[in-house]
């Protein structure tokens, strides 16, 4: 079925197997280099993410998880194939709308938080709002609200560099969500944390996913965390596959990653 046809069907939200498609890829291919140095990372990656799903991608280092997430966030362009956001091909969006898309539609969470260490937690979280032109006072107010939401109301004026690893990742989560995106893409968000902090951060992501009605795609090495998602995808030889059904997915068939 074409994405347009999916949209036309306009199925009731909340019914996950038939909920609206938020993000989709068709025949996504990404190669780096050329000639003898040609590296095919994504060969034929097909993904259908439906509204409200929380999906994990589990694959070894070098499999192409970050490459895929960057393409989904329009931070990079595919060699061929198409990414659709809410049924619209991203390649058809002009540069200005693309900047808007990156700022508002998708929240991106990196493994290493990428905060500005000399700026306060509040300033870091406010940054995407200031970049899109929001006024300073309202941006800082919104940032504080989000810091409270991730449990850091007592750290708002700390410089990011003074915070613990777990706290820094919470700031990064607030920064990823402060613009109100509908999709959260997280690239090994707990990869640099000890086990206790990894669980705490994952539980926070689960809570925010629910309360803000997000659609989330999370790359992780941690199978125990991945098992809490609605389904798990593997990435093998540049192709996405349903890796195993979790309890929530109740026996979904293997094969196509949809």
Nearer to ligand ADP, 151 or 234 (CB): 234
Exactly one of 34, 61, 196, 250 binds ligand ADP (CB under 6 A); that residue is 61
Return the exposure string of 11-20: e unless at least 16 CB atoms fall within 10 Å of the residue's CB, then b.
eeeeeeeebb
Selection from Mg ion, ligand ADP, none that 64 binds (CB < 5 to 8 A by kind) is ligand ADP
User: Measured between alpha carbons, how far is residue 132 from residues 86, 122, 141, 210 in Å?
Assistant: 22, 16, 15, 26
CB 174 within 8 A of CB 143: yes
Strand order, beta sheet including 21-32: 39-50, 21-32, 80-85, 88-89
DSSP state of 214: -
Helix intervals (H) in the chain: 3-9, 65-72, 95-100, 121-131, 136-149, 165-177, 195-211, 223-226
What residues from 63 to 92 belong to the interface with Mg ion (CB under 5 A)? 65-66
* Residue 220 in the binding site for Mg ion (CB under 5 A): no
CB atoms within 10 A of CB 227: 14
If you count them, how many residues does the chain have? 258
Q: Which residue, 65 or 155, is less far from ligand ADP as judged by CB?
A: 65
The stretch near ligand ADP (CB under 6 A) out of 58-66, 146-154, 170-178, 236-244 is: 58-66
Helix (H/G/I), strand (E/B), else coil: 26: strand
CB of 244 to ligand ADP, least distance (A): 18
- What residue number has its CB nearest to Mg ion? 66
Binding to ligand ADP by residue 237, rule CB under 6 A?
Answer: no
39's contact among ligand ADP, Mg ion, none, with CB below 5 to 8 A by partner kind, is ligand ADP
- Which of 32, 136 has the CB closer to ligand ADP? 32
- Which entry of ligand ADP, Mg ion, none binds 71, CB below 5 to 8 A by partner kind? none
Site string for ligand ADP, 17-56 (x = CB under 6 A): ---------------xx-----x-x---------------
**140/219 with CB nearer ligand ADP:** 219
Stretch of 61-69, 93-101, 143-151, 198-206 contacting ligand ADP, by CB under 6 A: 61-69
Strands of the sheet with 183-187, listed across from one edge: 106-109, 183-187, 215-219, 54-58, 231-236, 239-245
| Interaction site with ligand ADP (CB under 6 A) | 32-33, 39, 41, 59, 61-67
């Amino acid at each position: 079925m074409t994405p347009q046809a999916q949209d036309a069907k306009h199925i009731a939200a909340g019914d996950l197997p038939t909920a609206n498609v938020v993000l989709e890829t068709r025949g996504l291919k990404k190669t780096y280099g050329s000639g003898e140095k040609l590296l095919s990372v994504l060969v034929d990656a097909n993904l259908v993410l439906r509204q409200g799903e929380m999906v994990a991608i589990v694959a070894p280092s070098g499999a192409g998880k970050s490459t895929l997430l960057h393409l989904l966030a329009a931070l990079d362009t595919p060699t061929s194939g198409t990414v659709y956001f809410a049924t619209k091909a991203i390649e058809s969006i002009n540069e200005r709308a693309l900047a808007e898309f990156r700022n508002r539609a998708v929240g991106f969470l990196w493994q290493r938080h990428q905060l500005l260490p000399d700026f306060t937690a509040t300033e870091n979280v406010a940054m995407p709002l200031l970049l899109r032109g929001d006024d300073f006072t309202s941006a800082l107010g919104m940032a504080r609200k989000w810091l409270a939401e991730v449990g850091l109301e007592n750290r708002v004026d700390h410089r990011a560099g003074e915070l613990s690893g777990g706290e820094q990742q919470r700031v990064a989560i607030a920064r990823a969500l402060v613009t109100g995106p509908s999709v959260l893409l997280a690239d090994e968000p707990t990869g640099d944390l000890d086990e206790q902090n990894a669980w705490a951060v994952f539980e926070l992501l689960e809570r925010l996913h629910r309360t803000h009605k997000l659609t989330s795609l999370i790359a992780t090495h941690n199978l125990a965390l991945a098992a809490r998602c609605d389904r798990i995808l593997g990435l093998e030889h540049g192709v996405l596959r349903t890796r195993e059904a979790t309890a929530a997915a109740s026996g979904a068939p293997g094969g196509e990653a949809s």
